Amino acid sequence: MTSKELDGKVSLVTGASRGIGKAIALKLSSLGSKVAINHIAQEKDNAAKVVEAITSQGGEAMPVEADIRNSEAVKAMVQAVTDRWGKIDILVNNAGITRDNLLLRMSDEAWDDVIDTNLKGAYLCTKFALRSMMKQQWGRIISMSSISGIIGTAGQGNYSASKGGLIAFTKSIAREVGPLNITVNAIAPGFIMTEMTEKLPEERKKAILSMISLQRFGKPEEVAELIAFLASDRAAYISGQVIGIDGGI
């Protein structure tokens, strides 16, 4: 990629205050995009640090607090971004949570929280961000699915359902907006080294590593590279796809 391949573009990245979302925001900024850093209230300080990291490198960024489960909050977030920069070109539906448990022990609240954040949140963000993309007849929508959404994971019925639903949503919306020069794709990471995976017991880590061909966990920066490619004009003929990034698990 050229150093400023996304110059002039505006990106909105959900859940961008840390982890994979932070790496995505930093990568998109390094390619010239202005970046809106979505976060929840508890992540305000971390979001400010991401904005500072971008601006210190000469980029443009803004924090946008919003609970993506709430329609009015998402609408206001999108409005705030377009008020400042006039448009949204790239949406990365990255925000997600887990509330793991075996199905018979899973509470209704745990099911609803995961579905509402991971699936409904992507639906709302896509719905409101699309209006800007349709107007300019150019856009990139990239959603964070998971290997769990493809093969399923025991103890993650809610998470796997949300990520599998995100794949079907991606394929459906790609058909709707393709004629407007808007691509819609999903990526399906395997085990990426984040705060969540770092907390896994050592025995569990070893068991997971034994299933991965490359014998290591992925890095957030590697996921960000794939997102950046899909956001660029180099991926203009890729839409409705689910691309795995899992080290050959």
Q: Return d(Cα 150, Cα 220) in angstroms, integer.
A: 20
Q: Return d(Cα 40, Cα 152) in angstroms, integer.
A: 28
In angstroms, how far is CA 76 from the centroid of its own chain? 19
Residue with tokens 């022990």: 105
Q: What stretches of the chain adopt beta strand conformation (E)?
A: 10-13, 34-39, 61-65, 90-93, 139-144, 182-189, 242-245
- Is residue 159 part of the annotated active site? The answer reads yes
- The candidate with the shortest Cα–Cα distance to 190, out of 118, 244, 122, 119, is 244
Which residues make Cβ contacts (< 8 Å) with residue 203, sequence separation at least 6? none
Q: Return d(Cα 6, Cα 160) in angstroms, integer.
A: 32
Q: Return d(Cα 93, Cα 69) in angstroms, integer.
A: 12
In angstroms, how far is CA 88 from the centroid of its own chain? 15
Copy the structure tokens of residue 73: 């909050």
Among candidate residues 159, 169, 191, 217, the one labeled active-site is 159
DSSP 37-50: EEE-GGGHHHHHHH
Active-site residue set? 159
